[in-house]
Structure 1
């Protein structure tokens, strides 16, 4: 038999009443502060409210004027037209029978890739961090790269526009080419499907026959690598030691080559474009 819960004591009732009263008081204080801030902001007596309303009216008028311009209206129409085309094109694809196998394929790929993504997540995070550091270190080169990219895009734009105009003018010929290709390839599709099925069967048999030797070869290679690991580590240690010994010499040679290059550049510059401040030497001979 269920037990009847005990009623709260007088102290508990008083404590809950005090808590409720405190929370209500804090809410009222907060509401009062918000109301006071709003009144002070919009109060026309000190000028701030009138200024805020004036700025709001000017901003609204400028937005209305900008949106009423022909350029803005044309941009709005183009955006709406683009969204309408996307919706009209995408809606049949969502209910097309082909979307069901595609969704199933995506589901299978997602379920299969989740463990792989979980396994490579630390490596991806480390790689992302290193890539961010590299981009930050190479940030002085980014404006130059952006300029080169902009120049390439500007150079390609006339070619793309000319190609688009040419294809638009040659649309009947393109339609004839497409119809000819369709008529030529349509009879070959059944044979291609049969050949693909035979190739898939043969490939499966070859793969099943190749996997056991491949597994044996992989195990042998792994055992060989494990046995030669100390030698590889020792070779890497020797290579690193040699690089560390050669590093000071390389740095000194690089510094010396830089000084020589700078001195040569100064001399070549002086020889090609001599300064105009040089005096003119006049030779006087007595006869």
Structure 2
């Protein structure tokens, strides 16, 4: 029996965003372009498994969001600057792409799709962390300011811990256990400033109130919203409301949870592949 030929290793590249920030990315595969937008406190390493699966039929751009990994950070963060980063990546790849984002990366992918209707043909949002009811506590509106103060004081580890406790709703036990995973914990602490960014990115979407149409009501790109069957109840109600708001296809992935895109992305591939076939040649 012949073995399947392995794909070449991803190649490393950089583009320059509108404000001069260098954005680092890995490119693999061949075909229509899919750009992977990382979740909070993660970089392109966390999406490599998904990238390898998609690269069988697509050109995959797996990038470090600003302030992470090999990408720079000019400061003065805004959603618009992160969208500029995605636009620079699209422009470097024939001017059109589908975006995939998980968790807060899904929020950014939706924002970019709404802002770049001529350049984004589709968007796949896995569990954007919107809170639309009382199934979990809202995220306090002052959290980003509290995190920024901790980072400014040189307490990046405390900022990461607070982000996990308050924004992600992790238990003190789990947060303490994560500190014992020295390599992953150091990587997150190195990205502590970006926890501030992602908290600001999600502001207004985690208040325990119905979503407004203002942010994505005019979305033109085809959209697919995914949720894992094992994920928390608030993610089910939030993603269902979001999908209805933007007219997206909606699917529940059996056995999946919030970390599935990083840990077991093969579970997502049937839904992703079906959507990509309908969206891009």
Range of TM-score over shorter length = under 0.3
Structure with higher helix content = 1
Structure with bigger gyration radius:
1
| Larger relative contact order (Cα-Cα within 8 Å, sequence gap ≥ 6) | 2
TM-score (ref. length: structure 1): 0.13
The TM-score normalised by the length of structure 2 is 0.13
Which structure's residues are more often strand, by fraction? 2
